[in-house]
Structure 1
Amino acid sequence: MQKEMDFESLLSSYMKLIKKRLSIQNKFLGKIFFVIVLLSLSSNSNAQKELDVIKDWKGFSNAPNALYDHITDQAYGLLNERKIEVENLRSTDDWLKYQEKVKGSLKKVIGEFPARTPLNSKIVSTIEKDFYRVENILFESQPNFYVTSSLFIPSSVKEGDKVPTIVYCSGHTAQGYRGGYQQIILNLVKKGFVVFAYDPIGQGERFQYFDSVNNESIVGAVTREHAYSTAQIFLNGSSLTKYMIWDGIRAVDYLLTRNFVDGSRIGMTGRSGGGFQTAYISPFDDRIDAIAVENHITTYTRMLQSIGPREGEQNIIGMFSNKIDHADFLIAVAPKPALMITTTNDIFNIDGSKEAEEEISKMYKAYDKEDNFGRVEDLAAHSSTKKNREATYAFFQQHLDNPGDPFDEELVPLSEEELQVTPTGQVSTSFDNYESVFSLNKKEAEKLNEKLKRSRKAIEDYPAKVVEYAKQLSGYIKPGTNPKPVLTGSIRKTGYLIEKYFIKGEGDYPVPYLLFTPDASNKKAIIYLHPDGKIASSSESNEIEDVVNQGYTVLVPDLIGTGETGPGEWLGGSYFDHAYNKGLIYQIWYPSVMIGRSILGIRVSDVLRLVQVIKENDEIKEIRGIAHEQMSPVLLHAAAFEKSITHVALIKPYSSYRSIVASRFYAPQFIDNAVAGSLQYYDLPDLAAGLAPIKLLISGITDGNGKHENLSIINEDIEIIKSGFKNTGTENNLFILDNASIEDLYNFFD
């Protein structure tokens, strides 16, 4: 349907162009041109329809969402196991043991925090207002990793006073706490609380990809900044979550340097993305005495059923496989006072909020502290309401021992200029020595790479270990019994036959594929992987037809998430609009990481099912593989896991996962087949080196941005591969070319 709409739209554009450009005298020529365009576009559209395998099969009407459905089905299973465990908790002792288990799981998935280094805090300016003053403050949560913040201090605070203090975490606004959060901040100050607000990573004055010319984020503000950096951090086995939690912990560190802050009365609150920060930071900092989480807590089951996974920083490797749900963050802080602030029409489903509330309440009951937990609700969308703000004031007044009127007043917010901390309004353009998430993560990758270099010296043991690491980290599941292909149609071409098949994939979804069988077979088959799926076979430079005409049987699939089985309808903040992006869906990649698997692992399993199909054909004696661009890691893993593929050709592959981490602006589509945590144990060149002694051709290798800018890493990666083949004495089986021609492929495969 979309292709038909695109065709009509394009046709309409051409008609308008014709009317505009052609004079009355050239009407006849215009009609001829129109017919040519119509025939050309109709031909392309019909070619695509001609290659459809499952379009008219009613049972596969939801096939474009197959990848999301398959991954979330596994997530639901893991979350349901957790739910059953919680439902079976009976005694106080059961709940206390469960809480300790949750704390241990949270520590495991987050990992070790950085060392506590000097904050090097500085008050850069002070503004006096009628009932408070503001100190604009700069501090370093890590060396040269600057945090911009403002401390709101009531005028009533006198020398020697010890005042209850609240850390305010901002939601997803480009302005950070200068955005729509000042109403609650200033009301808390008016009621006698000190409030400390700071910019989260990628917001306010802490854009990680700032364009000083256009005064905006290069990759897209806020959620896209988070998604873009999250992918690189995942490859190291860490998370943006850890960076943001650590910022919150260091914010509390700073507060305790101020003599008027009462260390026994510290609260934390925030809405939306600020609610996430509040929920996730508080289990890791015992100094936070009371929390109010607004517009965030639901259940992950409800979230996956409705809006899908949220922004990058809210996702953690192995979160679901370690049976962690939203409620667990508040269960972990019990019996400290906690408040859930909800709205009925929130994007975070209200029924999920109620289900989470039920679980959390039982934890507080186990402590006999039911009064320390509650939930408030108002009829509204994903927003702050007067009722909910007043409930927040009352909560902190009660639990931080600061009684008073909880009435919400309309107060005049400060301007962005008044709350500006850095000289230019951005850390990145104010300091030459600043660190970004990218630079810090890149340094971690360099440390991991030094560890891999040491491992590679164990020539005999390492290749086998790499395969096991890759299987485990990718979440690969070995195919079971041979799948039975279903034929849905055939197309006769000059010199060959195209048959349209599908098989059952790893889960309850089809894997459509085209089988090109030459009239004169050379008894060799090629499995052909392309980011565009089987529609690549209709391209003008028809590589597939060329090799079929040489006698090769060629199998071209739509691997899950491509072609007729993708990429899905989950848009949100998951797409990047770079010219080189072909539509990677981050929101599908996230849950694959959270269940402890990868999209790549699922695809590899299906590729090896297709290999089984080829092997069932007695006429075929040898199997080769060709993969283009970001599909190259799939073929590389498949060939490493299954020795039936004797020749592997990678066309324009990126050189390594490390090259993605090392590229400040990597190509987003490369993340599709990335394996979270891989750089702790192996990288793509290790798999390629381990393919020896089979034949390997690499043509047009690129860096993590799909270019040739980071030549040092490209060359290092090539040397790793060369060493693997040299160690087996099969250097002549490795071919590294700048731009392989079709003749080069013929020669290689022969």
Structure 2
Amino acid sequence: MIYGSCLAVMLLACSISDTDGTAIKEWTNKRLLSENEFQSQIQNFIKNRIPSLNLPETAEEWEKESDKLRQEILAKIVYGGVPKEWYESDDPQVVWGDTIKTEKGYIIRKLRYEALPGLWIPALLYMPSEIKGKVPAILNVNGHVGPPGKTQDYEQLRCINLAKRGMLALHPEWLVFGELGNEDLRHNRLAYLDLCGTCGLSVFYLAMKRGIDVLLKHPSTDPKKVAMTGLSGGGWQTIILSSLDTRITATAPNAGYIGMNYRADFIEDCGDLEQNPNDLLTIADYTHLTAMLAPRPTLLIYNEKDDCCFQTHRAKPSVYEPIIPFFRLFGRENVFSLHNNTDPGTHNYDKDNREQFYKFINKYFLEGQKTIDEDIPSNDEILKYEDLIVGIPDDNANFYTLAKDIMKDFPENRPPQFGTSNFIDWQKNGRNKLKEIIRLKPMKAQTQKLSDETNGSLKVWNFKITVNDELSIPAIAISPSEMVKSIVVMFGDKGKASLAEHIQVEIEKGSTVIVIDPIFMGETMTVKGGMWQYVQMISAIGERTLGLQVGHIGAIVEMICQEIDIPKVSIYAVGWNSGIVALMVGALFGDRIENITLKEHLPSLKLLIENHIDYETYPVLFCFGLLKEFDVSEIIALCSPIKVNLD
């Protein structure tokens, strides 16, 4: 319901007042949304946009659909905006290092390979001391294991066991761990590339894909027997690469992923930014990726009491039970299984899980041969970190250096001379481009009055504003006079509770101030876990939080102007996120904006990269492709002729 007349009467019927700073602070600190209200709304917002997984009638239909999904995900998501020289070749540079010989029937070869120009991945290849003919090859990848990286005990034990079984076991280092422990390889800093319009996921994808390239180039690899496995982030790597690269003929992800429906409800299942890449769910969810494994042998390993993520009771109905019919299409439901680990049942790749994997590999790669399903004791063969150092170049690339190089000539969309016909055309085209980048959509705001309070002659009205019947925003309105001189719409990164002094200054000027908390600011920032997880999930479903913030404020401004019958309002924003939003509102809703005042604003989007700002600090601003087209000065130019006050 729209409370138009209520809003108009409220703003036009206040008596002259002395401003009371204490009262304003009390009002702005008051919580207006009910507990978990926004949390529930944002979860539903995400879940309502998850693509459904539909079972076709035949195996042939699913094979065609799987191929189509692979091509689309690779072209539009993984390699979106990525230079072709990063990924065109399947023959990466490889530098072989020392060989560690053992008396246990296997050797360890050190190597590094170039994932993309300038980024080298150190790796270890465990292999039998003597090899006859072609043998199975396993890509082993790890997760968030900290400084030990590829030398983690359970990783060494699994690779040693595979080599003792006559197989090749390649274990590359994962970004930010072990020898790649550079702060600018922290996973969420892939956002530096996203901001530049180059998919940050591509770095992760190429780092593991090159591992398969290396294995398949080895003369002893049987190309029909190539498998992949890993725990946690290694499990995520396993589902991503196995679903998109059919050179992998058997796969066993361990506690690595779950469908978006559960990620939205259980924040511990969300994962880092690479696990929720921009726009993935406009094409496929993790349920689709799992179904794309059919008809290849697949073992899903989950842990009953996992103390990290993806507990079995959630994973089973998400990515196992719904997928069985897809394997059944091929008459291969028997090759698709799930193991629920109960010993120890936590986040692990310990003995029970390793033995499940050996049994799986023995069944499909060593059929008819004498095999051992049990873990071969090898604890006394675990080597120290120092013994397994491969070495990487001092100038090895990272997210910062890659983005710094890409953005050197950004933005590409610089304005022509002000006042010319070319400038007008540039504004028109630029506004359309900006709408595309932030995924701006038509929105309509509705108000619901919650309460009103008085302190002396100063009065405040508390409102809840709902946009498109989906997301609610808290708002308060304060006016000092019986005649409205001007309307100021105010918001800030830290929420309305931080804006009391700014409100008082505007009231003393005779302005009516409407203070709102856009999504993920103030009250709406207090979601379980942290707002950055929800911001990345919003991007994964094809929306942009920046576009939602801009669209919401634009809809609120339009509602105010229509209901009070005034032509324009002023915008007042405090903080980096708020400042960018305010400028975009001016650029895209300029007919309703009188002027814009920015406090504590961001001078340039490039500072997010140059100052090594963490994604978690300003997740909304790392909007895919924004810096490629616009920096702050270009967005200000889009606002013209609106006056922008920078303070």
Scaled by the length of structure 2, the TM-score of the pair is 0.86
Displacement of 1:273 in angstroms is 0.7
Q: How far did residue 301 of structure 1 move?
A: 1.1
Residue identity in the other structure for 2:320: E
Distance of 1:360 and 1:122 partners within structure 2: 41
CA distance in 2, matches of 1:295, 1:393: 17
2:70 and 2:386 map into 1 onto residues whose CA distance is 41
SS in 2 for 1:639: helix
- 632, 638, 644: which one aligns with 1:696: 644
- Give a deviation string over 1:5-56, Cα, whole Å, max 9, x none: xxxxxxxxxxxxxxxxxxxxxxxxxxxxxxxxxxxxxx9999755435555x
Please tell me whether the aligned partners of residues 524 and 620 of structure 1 are also in contact (alpha carbons under 8 angstroms).
Answer: no
Distance in 2, matches of 1:665 and 1:503, equals 32
The reply on whether 1:153 has 2:127 as its aligned counterpart is: yes
> Compared with structure 1, are the counterparts of its residues 399 and 487 closer, same or farther at alpha carbon in structure 2 (3 Å cutoff)?
closer
Aligned to 2:196: 236
Q: Deviations over 1:260-281 (max 9, x none)?
A: 3333322211111101111111
Distance 1:597 1:76 in 2: 12
User: What is the alpha-carbon distance in structure 2 between the residues aligned to residue 650 and residue 46 of structure 1?
Assistant: 24
**Alignment-derived partner of residue 468 in structure 1:** 432
1:141 matches 2:115: yes
**Which whole-Å CA distance do the structure 1 matches of 2:25 and 2:594 have between them?**
31
The 1:319–1:257 alpha-carbon spacing in structure 2 relative to 1, beyond 3 Å, is: closer
Give the equivalent residue in structure 2 for 1:641: 588
- Alpha-carbon distance in 1 for matches of 2:94, 2:59: 44
Corresponding position of 1:608: 554
- What runs of 5+ residues in structure 2 fail to find an aligned partner? 1-19
Residues of 1 paired with 2:112 and 2:451: CA distance? 65
Distance 1:622 1:263, change over 3 A: closer
Alpha carbon RMSD of aligned pairs, Å? 2.9
Does the 8 Å contact 1:341/1:376 carry over to 2? Answer: yes
Aligned-partner Cα distance in 1 for 2:365–2:426: 56
Report the equivalent of 1:164: 136
Task: Measure how far apart 1:352 and its partner are.
Answer: 4.2
Residue in 2 that maps onto 1:102:
69
Counterpart of 1:561? 520
What's the counterpart of residue 321 of structure 2? 358
Secondary structure of the corresponding residue to residue 527 of structure 1 = strand
**Measured at CA, do residues 208 and 637 of structure 1 come closer, stay the same or move farther in structure 2, by a change above 3 Å?**
same
Shift of 1:681: 4.3
Instruction: Name the structure, 1 or 2, with higher relative contact order (CA <8 Å, separation 6+).
Output: 2
- Give the 3 Å change call, closer, same or farther, for CA 507–76 of structure 1 in structure 2: same
Matched, 1:319 2:277: no
Q: Say yes or no: does 1:300 pair with 2:260.
A: yes
State which of 492, 517, 532 in structure 2 corresponds to 1:586: 532
Q: Per-residue CA shift, 1:698-729, capped at 9, x if unaligned?
A: 23xxxxxxxxxxxxxxxxxxxxxxxxxxxxxx
Identity over aligned pairs, percent: 21
CA 1:72/1:301 → structure 2, altered by over 3 Å: closer, same or farther? same
Q: Amino acid of the residue matched to residue 246 of structure 1?
A: L
Residue of structure 1 aligned with 2:338, choices 375, 380, 393 = 375
Alignment of 1:535-546 (within 5 A): 535-538=497-500, 542-546=501-505
- Please name the residue that 2:6 is paired with: none
Q: Which amino acid aligns with 1:401?
A: L
Q: Residue in 2 aligned with 1:122?
A: 95
Secondary structure of 2:479's aligned partner = strand
CA deviation vs aligned residue, 1:381-432 (integer Å, no higher than 9, x gap): 222243332121122123223741111133222211111112xxxx4xxx34
Aligned length: 604
CA–CA separation in structure 2 for the residues paired with 1:523 and 1:45: 23
User: What secondary structure sits across from 1:676 in the alignment?
Assistant: coil
Q: Residue 644 of structure 2: SS of its match in structure 1?
A: strand
1:21 alignment counterpart? none
1:87-141 deviations in whole A, cap 9, x for unaligned? Answer: 5x33334433432342233222212562438744223322222222212212222
Q: Choose the corresponding residue for 1:669, options 612, 617, 621.
A: 617
Which residue identity is paired with 1:466?
G
> Which position in structure 1 is the counterpart of 2:10?
none
Alignment correspondent of 1:283:
243
Q: Does 1:384 align with 2:344?
A: no
* CA distance in structure 2 between the aligned counterparts of 1:198 and 1:46, rounded to whole angstroms: 60
Offset at 1:152?
Answer: 0.9
- Cα distance between partner residues in 2 of 1:614 and 1:454: 32
Structure 1's 656 and 537: CA in aligned 2 closer, same or farther, altered over 3 A?
closer
Task: Quote the residue 2:17 is aligned against.
Answer: none
Question: Of residues 448, 452, 455 in structure 2, which corresponds to 1:489?
Answer: 452
Shift of residue 622, structure 1, vs aligned partner = 4.1
- 1:668: Cα distance to partner? 4.7
Counterpart for residue 632 of structure 1: 579
Counterpart Cα distance in 1 of 2:561 and 2:294: 58
Aligned match of 1:504: 466
Q: Does 1:401 align with 2:371?
A: no
- 1:415 maps to amino acid: K
Larger mean Cα displacement after TM superposition, 556-565 or 588-597: 556-565
Instruction: Quote the Cα distance in structure 1 between the aligned partners of 2:164 and 2:624.
Output: 46
Change (3 A) 1:135 1:618: closer
| Structure 2 residue matching 1:590: 3-state secondary structure | helix
For residues 231 and 453 of structure 1, the distance between their equivalents in structure 2, rounded to whole angstroms, comes to 23
| One-letter amino acid of the structure 1 residue matched with residue 63 of structure 2 | L
Distance 1:479 1:550 in 2: 31
CA distance in 2, matches of 1:421, 1:650: 51
Tell me the amino acid that sits aligned with residue 337 of structure 1.
P
Which residue of structure 2 lines up, in the alignment, with residue 76 of structure 1? 47
Q: What secondary structure is seen at the aligned counterpart in 2 of 1:151?
A: strand
Q: What is the rounded CA distance, in whole Å, between the counterparts of 1:493 and 1:530 in structure 2?
A: 27
Q: Which runs of 5+ in 1 are unaligned?
A: 1-42, 211-221, 572-584, 700-750
Q: Is the 8 A contact 1:483 1:609 kept in 2?
A: no
CA distance in 1, matches of 2:433, 2:311: 38
Quick one: which of 650, 653, 657 aligns to 2:601? 653
CA distance in 2 between partners of 1:326 and 1:351 (Å): 17
* CA distance in 2 between partners of 1:408 and 1:500 (Å): 65
Equivalent-residue separation in structure 1 for 2:259 and 2:453 (angstroms): 47
C-alpha distance after superposition, 1:59-95 (max 9, x if no partner): x2223xx1x533431331232x414xx15x3333443
Q: 1:50 to 1:662 in 2, by over 3 A?
A: closer
Q: How far did 1:339 drift?
A: 1.6
User: Deviations for 1:635-678, whole angstroms, at most 9, x for unmatched residues?
Assistant: 11212221211211222322343442344346853333442232
TM-score (norm 1): 0.74
Mean Cα deviation higher: 435-444 or 170-179: 435-444
